[in-house]
Chain A
Amino acid sequence: MAQKIVSKYKEGKSPFVLSMIRLGRNKLAMAALFIVVFYIMLAAIGQFNIFHIKDIASNNDFDLRYMKPFQNIHHIFGTDNFGRDVFARAIMGTKISLFLGFLSGLLMIPIAIFFGSLSGYYSGWFDDIAMYIMSVIVAIPGMLIILSLIQVVGRSFFTIAFAFAITGWVGLARVIRGSFMQAKEFEYVLAAKNLGAGDARIIFKHILPNIFHFIIVRFVLNFVGVIKSEVFLAYIGLSIIGVPTWGTMLDDSKLELMSGNWQNLIAATIFMFLFLVSLNIFGDALRDALDPKLKNVV
């Protein structure tokens, strides 16, 4: 049946290319990807100060305090306590959220690969130590580590990204370790060893590329965790200072709500909701598409 179906393509197509073709056929995932790309563009607007967005976001105008949404064409989501445009602030928040997720993922992955692959591949004393470290990190609530790091090092953008990476790498490292332990007995790995391949070649050429889908999917879904955590940090007043984030907007809204103003709440929530839903849908689709178990089904 399925395993008998040989590819119809004339030229060789790698499993990765086939995965991408499969992903491309998933309309929902493509819609989600479109939204994610849209958010990346919003982040770029914030970063490069296109449309003077920075100035709009930080322009205080006390005459226009607490303007309700959809009443003024210039302030489509209304204004906040200081008369700043909420829509512009949400866009600036997009930038921070994306950067946080990206940077923490980038920091997390090498740590996870290092510990996961070496402890899975070599076992022995390195594995014992790595497992011990991982157990300790997992045993302490992640938020506690993040909070203490922020208290000690300060509330910079980089510190927060680093704090997320420190708490986030363990799960991925465990997955990588497990995959390595399985993979070292795979026949193609033994075959490479038999040809005289060194450990580095086996790890980087034969095992890592075959478990890379775990890493990509984890990277995508890492954004979800980071964005949620940032909200919590902001809520207890420990997020990045001086720039608008979705977390600080929500934090602001807790005071405003009492006076019946919900501009910040609605803007941040809509921005977050759409982004997180899209990321989740896209991440799941990516996982399905890259799953090697489905690789022959085109």
Chain B
Amino acid sequence: MSNTILEIHNLKTYFHTEEGIVRAVDDVSFHIQEGEILGLVGESGCGKSVTSLSIMGLVPVPPGKIEDGEILFKGKDLLKMSDKELQKIRGDEITMIFQEPMTALNPVSKIGDQIAEVLEFHSDLSKKERWEKAVEMIRLVGIPEPEKRADSYPHEMSGGMRQRILIAMALIKDPSLLIADEPTTALDVTIQAQILDLIKKLNEQFHSAVLLITHDLAVIAENADRVVVMYAGKMVESADVKTLFGNPKHPYTRGLLKSIPVLGEPDKKLHIIEGNVPNLIDLPPGCPFYNRCPEAMDRCINELPVITTLEEGHTVRCHLYGEENK
């Protein structure tokens, strides 16, 4: 059995706003194994990005605050670390790529320098060695003529290319965990395919674990090994990718899968999930999906379901699978 890189237990990240407490992440637990791609999927406002910020220690305080829980990285709790320790882990062992490849690079500095700069803080290579390593990374992420590219500026590159550079920067220190927060949302499908293939290839090559955060179920289906589905700050289902897509249990997951159009199946009748995501400030005491759920029962109104394990590795938070109904 491979090692567990990251374990999150009962994470609660809240935002204290003037209107009330936003429970952005509420009691989320999952883990990531070495060399695995974990997909974290959900709609906007479900808390998937706040989860990643919590791991990175980048939640803005205030208004944000991690109220409770543990984030164990290789057995050590990140939440108990000092800023200095955290900073070391952040650049060395956990790295992150973001949605917007346009703004994440410094426009007045050469690509090669920007990649090499990452090494400056975290290793004792000479300047020339760092530059060579940078060129090597550019080659690795599949950009032609890496020597020439290292010498150019961000504005001379397309969006897809810039995202590759950011991946190179994230991987140059050979991290144990790569967090990819909507890495392809801003890119076109043809470029998206290239970037995802690259992440997958590098995942196999470097054995880094990847936390792939996206709203796109199709991206998850093609790339992730295991999936966590979030809704309104809560984890609603998690399973390996084949189980989740083949045998979804939570009514939200089921509805979501039935509601996406699939290329090549134009006559698929799309299922409609009525209503909107509830306001995270005054969430009802029961299941957050209650108001939109076709299988809602009376007890869903006031009683928040607990996480039930259906079989090894497949958990769901729904009263349909509670102890009484088994």
A and B touch in the complex (CB under 8 A): yes
Interface residues of A, Cβ cutoff 8 Å to B = 1-6, 8, 298
- 0/1 string, B40-71, CB within 8 A of A gives 1: 00001100001000000000000000000000
CB–CB B19/A5 < 8 A:
yes
CB–CB A1/B19 < 8 A:
no
CB–CB B19/A298 < 8 A:
yes
For this complex, 22 residue pairs linking A to B, each with C-beta atoms less than 8 Å apart, are A1-B15, A1-B22, A1-B24, A1-B45, A1-B50, A2-B17, A3-B45, A4-B22, A4-B44, A4-B45, A4-B277, A4-B279, A4-B280, A5-B17, A5-B19, A5-B22, A5-B279, A5-B281, A6-B279, A8-B19, A298-B18, A298-B19
Find the B residue at minimum CB distance from A7: B19
Cβ of A184 to closest chain B Cβ, rounded Å: 23
Q: How far is the CA of A6 from the CA of B17 in the complex (A)?
A: 12
- 0/1 string, B218-249, CB within 8 A of A gives 1: 00000000000000000000000000000000
| Residues from chain A with Cβ under 8 Å of B17 in the complex | 2, 5
Cβ of B325 to closest chain A Cβ, rounded Å: 32
**Additional 7 contacts, C-beta under 8 A, given A4-B44, A298-B19:** A1-B22, A1-B24, A2-B17, A4-B45, A4-B280, A5-B279, A6-B279
Q: How far is the CA of A263 from the CA of B24 in the complex (A)?
A: 61
| Residues from chain B with Cβ under 8 Å of A3 in the complex | 45
| Residues from chain B with Cβ under 8 Å of A4 in the complex | 22, 44-45, 277, 279-280
Interface of B (DSSP majority class): loop
Quick one: which of B247-297 are within 8 Å of A by CB?
A: 277, 279-281
Quick one: which of B2-19 are within 8 Å of A by CB?
A: 15, 17-19
Find the A residue at minimum CB distance from B15: A1
Residue among A1, A2, A5, A8 with the highest chain B CB neighbour number at 10 A: A1
| Residues from chain B with Cβ under 8 Å of A2 in the complex | 17
Q: How far is the CA of A4 from the CA of B22 in the complex (A)?
A: 10
Cβ of B152 to closest chain A Cβ, rounded Å: 30
Q: How far is the CA of A2 from the CA of B49 in the complex (A)?
A: 13
Cβ of A2 to closest chain B Cβ, rounded Å: 8
| Residues from chain B with Cβ under 8 Å of A298 in the complex | 18-19
Quick one: which of B94-119 are within 8 Å of A by CB?
A: none
Q: How far is the CA of A5 from the CA of B45 in the complex (A)?
A: 10
Q: How far is the CA of A298 from the CA of B24 in the complex (A)?
A: 18
Q: How far is the CA of A1 from the CA of B46 in the complex (A)?
A: 9
| Residues from chain A with Cβ under 8 Å of B45 in the complex | 1, 3-4
Q: How far is the CA of A5 from the CA of B63 in the complex (A)?
A: 14
Find the A residue at minimum CB distance from B49: A1
| Residues from chain A with Cβ under 8 Å of B18 in the complex | 298
Cβ of B65 to closest chain A Cβ, rounded Å: 13
Find the A residue at minimum CB distance from B45: A4
| Residues from chain B with Cβ under 8 Å of A1 in the complex | 15, 22, 24, 45, 50
Q: How far is the CA of A5 from the CA of B15 in the complex (A)?
A: 11
| Residues from chain A with Cβ under 8 Å of B281 in the complex | 5
Q: How far is the CA of A298 from the CA of B17 in the complex (A)?
A: 9
Cβ of B146 to closest chain A Cβ, rounded Å: 38
Q: How far is the CA of A81 from the CA of B240 in the complex (A)?
A: 92
Q: How far is the CA of A201 from the CA of B24 in the complex (A)?
A: 42
Find the A residue at minimum CB distance from B47: A1
| Residues from chain B with Cβ under 8 Å of A6 in the complex | 279
| Residues from chain A with Cβ under 8 Å of B22 in the complex | 1, 4-5
Q: How far is the CA of A296 from the CA of B164 in the complex (A)?
A: 34
| Residues from chain B with Cβ under 8 Å of A5 in the complex | 17, 19, 22, 279, 281
Find the B residue at minimum CB distance from A2: B17
Q: How far is the CA of A3 from the CA of B45 in the complex (A)?
A: 9
Cβ of B300 to closest chain A Cβ, rounded Å: 22
| Residues from chain A with Cβ under 8 Å of B277 in the complex | 4
| Residues from chain A with Cβ under 8 Å of B50 in the complex | 1
